[in-house]
Structures are given as structure tokens and as C-alpha cells.
Amino acid sequence: MPLPQGVEYTVSTPPNDDPEKSWPIPVKSAEDASLGEVEVTVSGPSLHPVDAGFHAWAYLASAWVLDFFIWSLPFSYGVFLNYYISVEFPDEPSSLLALVGSLSNGIMYLSSPILLPLMNRYPRTKTKVMVVGYVICVAGLVGGAFVKTAGGLIVTQGVMYSVGGSLLYFPMMTYLFEWFSEKLGLANGILFSGASVGGVIGPFLIQALLEKYGRKVTLLSLGITLFILIGPCFFFLKPRLPVPQSQDTKPKRWFSRKYFRFLYLRTFWILLSATMVQSLGNFMPFLYLPNFASELHLSNTVGTLGVSLINGASAPGMIFMGWLSDRFDLRISMTLSCVGSSLAVFLLWGMSGSLVPYIVFACVYGFLGTTYVALFPRFVSATIGHDPKLSPTLLAIFMAVRGIGNILSAPISSALIRPWALTGKTELGYGVGGYGPLIIFTGATVLAGGLGILYKGVSRRQG
């Protein structure tokens, strides 16, 4: 198929000895750019610049707003959970109520490997899919205001909200690899910081609304706010590359072995396994810090402050980790995130018997532990190089695995929170309300995520 005139095309293919670098090669036809082996970079007077310019940053700002609203609510669910357990649904199993938060996170992550490849395959449908998600997401919040049982919350605040959020969020994510390349890590960190900033504001706002007005008014207010403020973002959430050049016209090649070549790379499996293990414990503090504060006989405001501080610290943490992964070896970022957050869990949460270590833990864990996700784009480039066509699919897989870990965290945490050897024998966190096993599990899993640094030893031997 001949390419349109007046536009310069190049392809980049990673050399066998270093998948993080690429060589530019000129091409004259689409057949020269074999899907799954090379990355097509289009430049010309009709295209906006990569990594710079109004349109790139307007896209990122609008994407940040979506991240702010869509993810901050699940990240603040610990406040809802504490309210549901203690006030509105005290007779419902706590595992069901915890499942609402796990689903609102997990389904969005799990849907990514379905939505991101489909959106790349059918790019003309992206805006329509986003509008449908917009409606479902708001409907989930409105519906959650009127249900009467934990099961109803699971369907509305858990499933509907997350399905709608997925349809709204992931089509937007496919544009990230078009607008950014050299600053990809930084851009991703900025984007993901939206949820963190929302997580600072959200817990206090939600706590105040729940205490003064109850669940109905709180969820209705959140739904209306989301509906009003996300609408204008649609004007800037657009591709950099012309849509016809973004669409694969040969379905057979789309599902070819070449397209899924990353499945044969040991780098991919090492990084994926590390992500899975780290995700099993990563979400625990979000779920249980407010309830843990109650066990310490601290006020509900302090419990809310814990979640808010985790989210607040993760905002600069996301940007910092993204920048660090752009500038230095990826293994440095991974080690800092995993070792630092693990030490925070063992030495600060485990030793928390009063307000000060509780607060310090929330800040340190937020800056280091939750920011592991900011490294995902660099996990992708470490595996396949910079490939805007294939990268969203690979990113989706890492996010899906993170979602599996978040969903599993609910039943795992319910099994772990029980009396053990130190319960009641110490005033430190390890002896408070049966939280000791949960704290140990969380620290061990986030530390094990650092085993992903082993990817570098095999990346130079795979081709």
C-alpha cells in the first residue's frame, strides 16, 4: 500500500543487543513497516511535534483530569469502607464491602488488555467508546446512591463505575505513546499523579459528605461533578497521527506471531511476574489504614488523613519515578520503589502505635510504594523498544496483572486479619487488632516486586 505524499516516514527497529535503543530506517510503503517488528514514526508539516507543543501538553492536561476523577474514587475507597462497616452496613460481611473497592480498581486494570488492543484496531470508535463509558461511569455512582445492600454496591459502585471508567479511560491512554517518546516516563508520571492529587482531596471531601449527608448525597454529588467537569476534556483527547495511518488494514497480521513476539521474551515474563507479586500487597494500605487508625483509637479524621497522605505523597512520587526512569537505569527506580516501600511497611506501619509513625508511614509509602505503576511504560520499552502500535497492548497487560493483584487483595486481606502470636501483646502495629500478618504480607510482596531488576541480565541474550 503506497503512503500519502508530502509526509516523511521512518521505521525504528531495536538492535538485538539492546531492546531499549532503535535504528531509523526510511520506508516508502506500509509493507516495509512490518507490524510487530518495527515502529512507524510519521513526521511532516501536518503533524504536531512529539514531547512538546500546545497539543501534546493539552492532551496530557486533559488526560490528567480523567485520571484525577476516574482513579481517585477507588483510591479513596478506604473512607467509604470504614463508613460502610461502622455506620451503614455493620451486619454485612466486611469481605463483601472490601470487594467493592477491589473491583473498582481491579476491573479497570483487567479490562485494559481487551480495550487497548481493540482501540488500536478500530481507532475511529475511540470517541464513541469514551462517551459510552462516560455515561456508564456516572450511572454507577448515581445507582450506588439508591441501593440498599452490599451486593447492590458491588454492582453499582464496584462494577458499573469501573466498567464505565475503563471505557472512558483506556481509549485516551492509547494516545500517550503518540504524543510522547523521550519524555514518556515523565509524561506517564504526570498523568498518573492525577489520581494521587484526587486522592488527597477525595478522602476529606468524601468523609465530610458522608458524615453530614450520608451515602446518597455523597455519591450523587460525585456523579454530577464528574459529569460536568470531564465533558470539556473531549476536545483535547485526540490522536497525533492521522487515524487511517493508525489502523491496521490486514487483520491476519494483527494477530500474527510477530505481533505477540514479546511473549517469547524472558524480559517480559520477569517484569510481569514482579508486577504480579508487588500488586498483591500494594493496595492493602489503601483499604485498611482508616480501620487501622480506628483500632489505634484515633479519630476518623486521622484515618482519612492516612489515605489522603498516601495519595498526596504519590503525586510527586509518580512524577519523580517517571523522571528517574527516563534519566537513569530502570533498575535504580525499581530498587528504590520496592526496597524503600518495604522498609516503610516493616519499620513504620509495623511499629505504628501512635499518630506520628502512622503519619510518617503514609507519606513514605505513598512516595515510594504506590509509584511502582509509573514505571510501566519503561517496562514496555525495556521489552520491545519504542513501538507506538504495540506498546499500548503491552502496557495493558502490565495494568491487567496489577488489577488481578488488587482484586485478590480483598480475600487475601480478609484471611490475614486475625489474632496471631503478637495480638494484644504489644502496642505496636504488629499487635493491633490482628493486623500483624497483613503487615508482614504487604512488606514481603512489595519487596519481592524488586526481583524485576533481574530482567537486565537476560535482555542482552534474547533476540
β-partners of residue 43 are: 8
Contacts of 219 (CB under 8 A, 6+ apart): 141, 142, 144, 145, 157
Distance between CA atoms of residues 172 and 442, nearest Å = 32
What 3-state class would DSSP assign to 38? Answer: strand
pLDDT tens-digit readout, 294-309: 777 887 778 778 877 8
Edge-to-edge strand order for the sheet containing 8-13?
23-26, 8-13, 39-43
pLDDT tens-digit readout, 92-134: 777 788 888 878 877 887 787 788 778 777 878 888 899 999 9
Do the beta carbons of residue 357 and residue 348 sit within 8 Å?
A: yes
Lowest mean pLDDT among 116-120, 230-234, 247-251, 323-327: 247-251
Q: Can you give the pTM of this predicted structure?
A: 0.69
The grid coordinates of residue 7 equal 509526509
Better-scored residue on pLDDT, 94 or 423: 94
Q: Could you count the other beta carbons within 10 Å of the beta carbon of residue 344?
A: 25
Residues of the chain with CATH 1.20.1250.20: 54-459
Query: 420 falls in which pLDDT band (50, 70, 90)?
Result: low
Distance between CA atoms of residues 419 and 433, nearest Å = 7
| 425: pLDDT strictly greater than 90 | no
CA 11 to chain centre: 30
Lowest mean pLDDT among 32-36, 196-200, 455-459: 32-36
When the pLDDT of each residue in the chain is averaged and rounded to a whole number, the result is 78
| 235: pLDDT strictly greater than 80 | yes
Contacts of 286 (CB under 8 A, 6+ apart): 75, 77, 78, 101, 307, 310
User: How much of the chain, in percent, has pLDDT values that exceed 70?
Assistant: 82
Indicate the Cα dihedral angle 166, 381, 327, 51, nearest 10°.
Answer: -60
pLDDT tens-digit readout, 126-166: 888 999 999 999 999 999 889 888 888 999 998 999 999 99
Distance between CA atoms of residues 319 and 332, nearest Å = 15
pLDDT tens-digit readout, 340-374: 999 999 998 888 777 888 889 989 998 998 888 88
Better-scored residue on pLDDT, 20 or 322: 322
CATH of 54-459 given 3.40.50.12280, 1.10.150.110, 1.20.1250.20, 3.40.50.12710: 1.20.1250.20
